[in-house]
Structure 1
Amino acid sequence: MNNKTIFYLARHGQTEWNVAQRIQGQLDSPLTAQGKQQARSLAEQCRALNITQILTSPLGRAVQTADICGQVLQLSPIQIKGFEERHFGDWQGKYTYQVNTLSDYDEITSQITDCKPQQGESSKQLLTRFEGTLREELKNATQGISLIIIHGDILRCFMAQFVPNLTPNSASKGSVSTGYDYKNAELIALSYDHDSGTFSSL
């Protein structure tokens, strides 16, 4: 018996802070004109996918993207607590150049470890939060197909499990180096096996 649920992940559209290279985390900035167009293009891609529900991070940029998709697909997005972007603590609101010379910058932004900015969330904590929430939502949507609007660092961490030949970084025991930047409004197809509790990339 096939007990799998297909779902789609997508990052929100481009924001003003994306352009300015400011770290958003759980702060926010609105979509740019390009970001709104990206959201519309994402929705058009989804027309043929039989999407039955749109789930979104409660952060404004994701909600704005989900609302545009919802208008095209004639669905009302549902905000899900637990789908928020990683909390970057003291880094939030800063420009990338203000933190990218710090000794732990690469580990925090390109690996999956317990390392985190002051007052922030580690990538491992983020994964635990996101995957736990995702599994719960998919258990409740076994018969439908979900479009889920989330964020760049969630995608970086979650999708690392599907990157071929990913090996632990020798400089940080037990970690992996991901370093893949998921594009705004990029659509990713996956499935969840309810029996084994595992995810697969389609």
Structure 2
Amino acid sequence: MTDLWVVRHGQTEWSANGRHTSVTDLPLTGHGEEQALALCGHLRPDDFGLVLSSPRRRARHTAELAGFTGAHEPVLDDDLAEWAYGDYEGRTSDDIQQDVPGWTIWTHPVPNGESADQVTERLDRVVARVRDSGVERAICFGHGHALRALAMRWLGFDLRLGLHFPLDTSTISVLGQEKGEPALERWNARV
């Protein structure tokens, strides 16, 4: 079984203040660039037989600053884009909860955004792509909610459990196996 490393992009202005960011294509902040540069040396591009990234520039730029350039440049995969927040784009959870008490992306609908079933479907395609790749190790650069959802699908869990797996900017997580079964080897590790 292929081990899948997942890397959340470095900090953006909106991730720093908790605003939901899917289709808004924000750049990394100066701090976010420093975070991404710090990944260089902790991630060796030659160690990965498959390198994928969300098409959003914050994920692509994180990969670039981490040393994934040239022959190791990621293949862009729309299935790794962040959960589409629809009407909640740019809003914080606290703000949304003023209108919808108890709202979370994991438990409530997203008006004009993606449903949990839609996210499950596309991230199941990522899981299949990685598992069918035949490589020893793959890596994905992406976003907080989408990567948490990807981990849930890797493990065969319902997306709602993603609530219990916080994922900070510019962290490394490893999805692998234990005795032939999908397993979480490392989560939310800072460099």
TM-score, structure 2 as length reference: 0.79
1:187 counterpart = 2:172: yes
- 2:123, 2:153 within 8 Å by CA — same for their partners in 1? no
Residue of structure 1 aligned with 2:115, choices 101, 110, 122? 122
Give 1:88 shift. 0.4
Partner of 1:131: 124
Q: Which 5+ residue runs of structure 1 have no aligned equivalent?
A: 169-173
Determine the C-alpha separation between the residues in 2 that align with 1:105 and 1:22: 17
Match of 1:42 in 2: 39
What secondary structure does 1:178 align onto? helix
- The Cα RMSD (Å) is 3.2
Rate the CA distance shift 1:133–1:162 in 2: closer, same or farther, 3 A. Answer: closer
Q: Counterparts of 1:164-179 in structure 2 under 5 Å?
A: 176=161, 178-179=163-164
Q: Partner of 1:14 in structure 2?
A: 11
1:142 aligns with 2:139: no
What's the CA shift for 1:21?
A: 2.9
The structure-2 alpha-carbon separation of the partners of 1:40 and 1:72, relative to structure 1 and needing over 3 Å to count, comes to farther
| Higher gyration radius (CA) | 1
- The equivalent of 1:27 in structure 2 is 24
Deviates more, 1:65-74 or 1:176-185: 65-74
Deviation, structure 1 residue 144: 4.3
Change (3 A) 1:160 1:53: closer
Residues 86 and 110 of structure 2 are in contact (CA less than 8 Å); yes or no, is this contact kept in structure 1? yes
Normalised to the residue count of structure 1, the TM-score between the two structures is 0.75
Q: Does structure 2 retain, via aligned residues, the 8 Å contact 1:43–1:72?
A: no
